[in-house]
Amino acid sequence: MRHLRQVGAVLGLLFVASSVAAAQQRTTATRATQRSAATAANPWEFGADARLSLGLDDQGNRLEIPLGNLRAGYHFSDVLSIEPFGSIQYVDPEVGDSFTFYELGVGGLYHFTTSRTQRQFYARPFLEILGISGGGNGDSELGVGIGGGVKWPRLNGRMALRGEANVL
């Protein structure tokens, strides 16, 4: 009789443990489904970047606040997004010719985590066209680079603050 109680107790504990494990599995699956649904329902992320450019060539250094670039990212999945970006600057000095600087590009972000509402590390290869026109002349260059950084989401993943380092 004593053995039957022990077997009954063991079977009861196994039943409780399996129920708890099944509930945790459903909760994890539900959270993953909610994240995927959030990405499907809200695939866009918008941003504006301030930029500090330290030039290693003859272009010199620049600090651009508040806007270095405007960007709009479209999430294809929880970890992949494509992001067109651009900027335009018009300079009209008191002496001399006016100039227009422009930058147009596209990047592909790979996020190392799937939650768009928490901090995410990412890698970003990109392609950009940098150009200048003014004073009767114009020039443009095609650039290919890779960057990486961290995103701090705001507004439930619709906007993010980013810190990023690039190699062009």
The burial class, CB within 10 Å (0-12 / 13-18 / 19+), for 107 is buried
Higher pLDDT, 55 or 124: 124
Q: Is the pLDDT of residue 4 over 50?
A: no
CB 129 within 8 A of CB 104: yes
Q: Is the pLDDT of residue 21 over 60?
A: no
pLDDT of residue 5: 52
pLDDT of residue 18: 43
Least confident of 3-7, 14-18, 139-143, 153-157: 14-18
Nearest to 100 by CA among 87, 92, 90, 111: 90
In tens, the pLDDT along 94-128 reads: 788 888 889 999 999 999 998 888 899 999 999 99
CB 145 within 8 A of CB 130: no
Measured from the Cβ of residue 37, the count of other Cβ atoms closer than 10 Å reads 10
In tens, the pLDDT along 69-94 reads: 888 989 988 899 999 999 888 888 77
Higher pLDDT, 151 or 53: 151
